[in-house]
Amino acid sequence: MSTSLSQDPHISFSKLPILLAISVPAGTKAGFIDTLSGYSQVELLLKRGYKFLYNGFDIEEDDNGTEYMVVDVMLVG
């Protein structure tokens, strides 16, 4: 699963204002590939096959007053 460590996604994602906040335990098989992508996306690649535990969601507001959903999940194995 390709993810970004940045909370501010690219403008192209603004139609779907959902931030998936993933808690990743130490020792998780993943690779930080920011310097390999060439687009400065602060990208973390998670190994395939992990499952997630849903912890809830909140509606938050950015500095411009735009609402977005934050979905809190934890990687469990």
**pTM > 0.85: yes or no:** no
Question: Distance (Å, rounded) from C-alpha 59 to C-alpha 18?
Answer: 9
**What are 74's two structure tokens?**
């934890």
The CATH classification number of 2-75 equals 3.90.176.10
Helical H segments across the chain, by residue range: 34-37
The SS3 of residue 48 is coil
Question: Is-contact 17 69, C-beta < 8 A?
Answer: yes
Q: What is the per-residue pLDDT across 25-65, written as a single tens digit (0 to 9) for each?
A: 998 888 887 666 666 667 788 888 889 999 999 998 888 88
Pairing of strands 43-46, 30-32: antiparallel
